[in-house]
Amino acid sequence: MTGRPRHPPGLVAVVAALATAAPAAAQRPPVHVAATAVAAVTRMDPAPGGDARTDFALDLTTLMARAALAGGRVTLAATVSLEGATIPGGVLTPGAVGEGFVDRRHPHTYLHEMVATVRQPLDERGTGELAVTVGKGFVAFGSDDPMNRPVLRYPVNHHWAQVLERAVVIAGARRGAVSLEASLFNGDEPERPWQAPNLSRFGDSWALRGTVRVGPLLELQASHAQVVSPEHRGGAGPRAAKWSGSARLDRPLRAGRVYGLVEWARTVEGGFFRFDALLLESELRLGPHRPYYRFERTERPEEERTADPFRTRRPPTDDAILGITRWTVHTLGFAVRLPAVRGLRVEPMVEVARAGVAAVGPGLFRPEVFYGSDVIWSLTLGIRLAAGQPHRMGRYGVLDADPGSERHEGH
């Protein structure tokens, strides 16, 4: 079954927002505003069922704002996602899993992030500080959200390596290069783009993250979280124990920049099902040119699907896991930035991925039967539109930095 490219709503509005975002930021220096959208055609071969599929998507449609008040001691950050309107059925992403979608990356909630942070220096030299963050956003767990990273295609490990879109309170402390953060949040994941966190469950889940910055170029982090019933909004689902460790390099060069990330993550659901992930990605910026590469090996559950082969039942039943598969994915991409026009950056791109999938251990699910092959290819041709300088989402308080002081030019 070959899908027909569809023209999603909101394209004119998104482009208009992109064109006006940079001037707005220039008129109000304390407020940094940014916007992004990617128009892309993706072909997946084979898709569930054995046939190839081609889809058009207006992806990563985001509006971002960040303001620093009271001399930087109070910070406000917000991100609005329009994906609920532009990709209501998700976007083709072989191996992706989460929030009821499979082999499609789900749309984010409209209010993706809205947090306030208060920071208190511990000394006049700025070598230590305390911070408290309150709002809806990212839990202090794991690595950067893929939206901030070079590869357009989301990794399979997205829900193993990040915890996002929760009502959260984060307390952080920093002394020199070492930071420690503790989070309280609600365990439930959103089920719909317009859905708010279940506040009656706030505080049933927690996370700890330690971070060490080795000079201005290298960042190391280790995290642990206990997430109660993420896939059952009422709280009747199993607990997920999560671990993460990563090293992130971001170094300027004479003619550009080099970026690299090495990441390991593990999630254990119900004390029984274990899913491991290993990811390495890199990017080299040379003037307007941007080649990049990602390797990933991630295990995911295979759950009972609905009449739509890209969807799973939510909430899942206790016996919904039909097996575990391991996805080994190589993604290679290249993008080139054209000269900006009135603050609007235009970046054509091409991205190709080869995913090998294999069953792990006993189970009823056999990928070579469901897909018709144990190797899946995807090709994406797209154009990224961007204006302004996005902030690094999920790095609040003691890990916060002003836009422009670090590289934030992923998606």
How far is 283 from 286, CA to CA, in rounded Å? Answer: 10
Query: Is it the case that residue 366 has pLDDT exceeding 80?
Result: yes
DSSP string, 84-104: HHH-TT-EEEEEEEETTEEEE
> What CATH number did the domain enclosing 216 receive?
2.40.160.10
How far is 207 from 170, CA to CA, in rounded Å? Answer: 9
Query: Is it the case that residue 29 has pLDDT exceeding 60?
Result: no
Question: Does residue 5 fall inside a structural domain?
Answer: no
pTM above 0.75, yes or no: yes
- Pick the range with the lowest mean pLDDT from 26-40, 44-58, 295-309, 382-396: 26-40
Higher model confidence: residue 391 or residue 248?
248
Amino acid at residue number 379:
L
Question: Does residue 405 fall inside a structural domain?
Answer: no
Residue 336: closest CA among 408, 393, 256, 259 = 256
Amino acid at residue number 328:
T
Give the pLDDT confidence score for residue 315 in this predicted structure.
Answer: 78
| Mean model confidence pLDDT for the chain | 90
Residue 172: pLDDT band (50, 70, 90) is very high
Question: Does residue 2 fall inside a structural domain?
Answer: no
Question: Does residue 407 fall inside a structural domain?
Answer: no
Q: Which two tokens stand for residue 105?
A: 């990356």
Q: Could you read off the pLDDT of 99-140 as tens digits, one per residue?
A: 999 999 999 999 999 999 999 999 888 789 999 999 999 999
Q: Could you read off the pLDDT of 188-231 as tens digits, one per residue?
A: 999 999 999 999 999 999 999 999 999 889 999 999 999 999 98
Question: Does residue 357 fall inside a structural domain?
Answer: yes
Question: Does residue 236 fall inside a structural domain?
Answer: yes
Q: Could you read off the pLDDT of 54-106 as tens digits, one per residue?
A: 999 999 999 999 999 988 899 999 999 999 999 999 999 999 999 999 999 99
Question: Does residue 210 fall inside a structural domain?
Answer: yes
- Domain tally for the chain? 1
Residue 321: pLDDT band (50, 70, 90) is confident
Question: Does residue 4 fall inside a structural domain?
Answer: no
Give the pLDDT confidence score for residue 139 in this predicted structure.
Answer: 98
Residue 91 lies in domain? 11-399
Query: Is it the case that residue 26 has pLDDT exceeding 80?
Result: no
Q: What is the DSSP letter of 229?
A: -
Of 24-28, 124-128, 160-164, the range with the highest mean pLDDT is 160-164
